[in-house]
A and B are shown apart, each in its own frame.
Chain A
């Protein structure tokens, strides 16, 4: 084997090894970046799920509060009517008492 062939073989070997190593390194870098993106995404998803749960809970609480408010409104209206009747009755009683005197 002559010197030229040996030099060519050595150059090819070095090129091959450097190329394989370089691509492996690049692949590892890309994989790491993809992993980082995946983690970031899963964190965002977890935060979103947490927000969805919290909104659902608040919506339930709001429903309960609205029911209670409805009941209070009904009771308040009934009380108002009762008070009006009592006031009227009170007026009548006052007038009756004045007439007796």
Chain B
């Protein structure tokens, strides 16, 4: 059991995030509703903003895919993804809170738990990328004799 926990820690601390990011971004692009529905579909459902939210997610996912070789720019897109995730989650939580006659449902707890795991995932990826970018920047300025 201790070995397993230690392995979890090692995975989080030492393992690379790039394969995960690549597969996630590809899956996210193909799963994006902008590709499979149009604005009128969401307007009929009474959620036209959701279409644009998906559009932003699509742009960010494509941005991640196109900048995987440049860690600083990729980290920026990951940060935007994280912000979008926070935005959606907070919006959902506040809506739940403001809804007066809300009944407790297990599906809400499940959704919030999954969202929290995603939040940890994106925070972990962003921290790793940002750390790499910062260290690169510091090392570059250290090697530069003029800087």
A-to-B contact residues, CB < 8 Å: 3-5, 7-9, 11-12, 15-16, 19, 23, 26-27, 30-31, 34, 38
29 A-B residue contacts at CB 8 Å? A3-B94, A3-B98, A4-B92, A4-B95, A4-B98, A7-B90, A7-B91, A7-B94, A8-B86, A8-B88, A8-B90, A8-B94, A11-B86, A11-B87, A11-B90, A12-B83, A12-B87, A12-B90, A16-B79, A23-B130, A26-B134, A27-B134, A27-B137, A30-B134, A30-B135, A30-B138, A34-B138, A34-B139, A38-B142
B135 x A4 contact (CB < 8 A): no
Give the distance to chain A from B52, nearest Cβ to Cβ, in Å.
Answer: 12
Those of B127-147 within 8 Å (CB) of chain A = 130, 134-135, 137-139, 141-142
The binding surface of chain A is classed by DSSP as: helix
B138 x A27 contact (CB < 8 A): yes
Number of B interface residues, CB 8 Å?
19
A7–B93 alpha-carbon span in the complex (Å) = 10
Give the distance to chain B from A34, nearest Cβ to Cβ, in Å.
Answer: 5
A41–B147 alpha-carbon span in the complex (Å) = 17
- Per-residue CB proximity of B87-129 to A under 8 Å, as 1/0? 1101110110010000000000000000000000000000000
A31 x B86 contact (CB < 8 A): no
Q: Taking CB as reference atom, which chain A residue is nearest B126?
A: A19
Contacts of B92 in A (CB 8 A): 4
Q: Taking CB as reference atom, which chain B residue is nearest A27?
A: B134
A76–B94 alpha-carbon span in the complex (Å) = 105
